[in-house]
Amino acid sequence: MSQPAVSVTQLTKVFPVTKHLRLRRKGEKRFVVAVDNLNLNVREGEVYGLIGPNGSGKSTTVNLICGIFAPTAGSIKLDGIDLRSLRPDQRVDAGVARTFQNIRLFGDLTVWQNLWVAWRDDESEQGGRFSSWFGTSGSRRKRIQSILEFSNLGQRANDLAANLSFGEQRRLELARAYAAKPKLILLDEPAAGMNAEELQDLRDRILFLKENGVTVLLVEHVMELVMSVTDRITVLNFGREIAHGLPEEIQQNQVVQEAYFGSSENAG
């Protein structure tokens, strides 16, 4: 529990501002520092919250960790392994899984098939990747079945992902991330649009992941969820850390309240 699973050191991402090039006036900023010198140390099995106002660099941090973007500077390690030289698919093999702020599933595959393609072999399953669709090994079948139960999607196994309700699609996204047997799951606003019951279910699932040794980085605006499920939190504003600590410390932090809770228009 005390071993650092994820260590992010002086992570920085600068984007060129390409939009409205012709409208840009002299002296205007040509770059946006989306993530600015960020340090994170997440312990194994911890649920770590990353919060902050809209545009504060949360999704960019997730994208840097899973390899969608290359950092401008800084390093990212998982269990001491430097992830920077690994492609996104190699990072999945190294144990990094994620969900997206906007759901991304294979709509024309069934629920079962979405989980099947997300499957990641480990050393104990020789040849699993080459086993045919119908020849899916017993242990793999069993585990997919248990993931269907974990996500309460058992009744939907043979339905196309595109035909699921919004809540079911969100559950399938998390199930798919879990099917990759991750060490680390990155959740980018998983509670968006959820009702109270769905929130409670999501909370239970995050705690289940934690109990099963998965480390979770949770980006979320729904404070009720963040405060009830995270062990520690880092708060970003304009790409920079403005605070880190226990949920109750963050809740009482003046700087955070001004930046984040101060204006409701800011949150989003």
Ligand X SMILES: Nc1ncnc2c1ncn2[C@@H]1O[C@H](COP(=O)(O)OP(=O)(O)O)[C@@H](O)[C@H]1O
DSSP secondary structure string for all residues of the chain: --SEEEEEEEEEEEEE--TTGGGPPTT---EEEEEEEEEEEEETT-EEEEE-STTSSHHHHHHHHHTSS--SEEEEEETTEE-TTS-HHHHHHHTEEEE-SS----TTSBHHHHHHHH----TTSTTGGGS-STT--HHHHHHHHHHHHHTT-GGGTTSBGGGS-HHHHHHHHHHHHHHT--SEEEEESTTTT--HHHHHHHHHHHHHHHHTT-EEEEE-S-HHHHHHH-SEEEEEETTEEEEEE-HHHHHH-HHHIIIIIS-TTT--
Binding residues for ligand X, how many (CB under 6 A)?
Answer: 11
Single out the residue of 57, 71, 182, 190 in contact with ligand X (rule: CB under 6 A): 57
Residue 54 makes contact with ligand X by CB under 6 A: yes
Single out the residue of 49, 60, 65, 76 in contact with ligand X (rule: CB under 6 A): 60
From residue 59 to residue 78, the character string flagging contacts with Mg ion as x (rule: CB under 5 A) and all else as - is x-------------------
Residue 52 makes contact with ligand X by CB under 6 A: yes
Comparing CB distances to ligand X, the nearer of 56 and 253 is 56
Comparing CB distances to ligand X, the nearer of 59 and 114 is 59
Comparing CB distances to ligand X, the nearer of 25 and 29 is 29
Residue 234 makes contact with Mg ion by CB under 5 A: no
Residue 58 makes contact with ligand X by CB under 6 A: yes
Q: Which does 230 bind (CB under 5 to 8 A by kind): ligand X, Mg ion, none?
A: none
Residue 56 makes contact with ligand X by CB under 6 A: yes
Residue 237 makes contact with ligand X by CB under 6 A: no
The footprint of Mg ion (CB under 5 A) covers 59
